[in-house]
Amino acid sequence: MTTWSVWRQDDNGNRVEVAHYDERIAALTRVLTFDAGHPHKQIYWVAGDAVPLTNRDLYLRIIDLREPLVSGGRILSEYLRALWGVSRTRKDRDRLPLDEVAAMFTAAVTLAPPPAAASDGFAPEETLNGFARWEAIILSQIADLDDFALQPPGDHAFFGVDAPRTSTTRATPSRWYNFDPASYLECGLAGALGGWDESDGTRVAVPGPVHPDVPPDPAILSIETVTWDDLADFALCGQLYE
């Protein structure tokens, strides 16, 4: 059986095996949890071969997060704060392997959410790129959700509702359709990368306008890495895709 080990290098250069896992994503999740926790000077990494993933693999992984998200009671603003905290540990990278993206989404399910940075004063997201675009979108969404907490969107919000913004200088559109982490993740991935199938029971193809204007083909695609702009598109679809 293939295993993946999490290793740590301390301040003196000593290397210690911390744990081993039967799944690479689980090992990467452990590393991200360490990196996004309390500040430290130690280095963590995963030893073992990379495993190629498809958009379908990532979609199924996202679907599997629904149960722990619901049972853990994590609300969307908490999840996005945790996701933002995890993402900052990789902000200097231009591209991320798909298994590390899956680990990032997984780590945010249980990681303690850090306080979010300033959430106003962003340029429109289409004028930004890379991690700056991703971060502006996530922090703007957190600010919208904080406003919704003061003025709840109502029982029919899934038909679409505008955020009751106290500021108009956010990077994202004001319209929202998804208000829980599981729906945000599923819609984000389906809208940005595809990978879903009607047999999943999560969605069906329907006629009419959608966001994005040209949604991705749900066909299975091998994807080695994604950019922060790809993840920014994911975050927008998490808010706007139905």
DSSP calls for 108-158: TTTSPPPPP---S-PPPGGG--HHHHHHHHHHHHHHHHHHHHHS---TTGG
For residues 161 and 178, give the distance between their C-alpha atoms in angstroms, rounded to a whole number: 10
Same domain, yes or no, for 80 and 19?
no
Same domain, yes or no, for 131 and 11?
no
Q: Is the pLDDT of residue 45 over 90?
A: yes
Same domain, yes or no, for 34 and 113?
no
Same domain, yes or no, for 66 and 178?
yes
pLDDT band at 154 (very low <50, low <70, confident <90, very high): confident
Same domain, yes or no, for 94 and 35?
no
pLDDT at 213: 55
Same domain, yes or no, for 84 and 156?
yes
Helix/strand/coil (H/E/C) assignment for every residue in 57-119: HHHHHHHHCHHHHHHHCCCHHHHHHHHHHHHHCCCCCCEEEHHHHHHHHHHCCCCCCCCCCCC
Same domain, yes or no, for 34 and 65?
no
Same domain, yes or no, for 191 and 208?
yes
What's CA 1's distance to the chain center, in Å?
30
Longest dimension (CA), the chain: 61
For residues 85 and 33, give the distance between their C-alpha atoms in angstroms, rounded to a whole number: 10
pLDDT at 2: 87
Same domain, yes or no, for 41 and 151?
no
Same domain, yes or no, for 9 and 120?
no
Same domain, yes or no, for 77 and 155?
yes
The range of the structural domain enclosing residue 106 comes to: 55-240
Model's pTM, two decimal places? Answer: 0.90
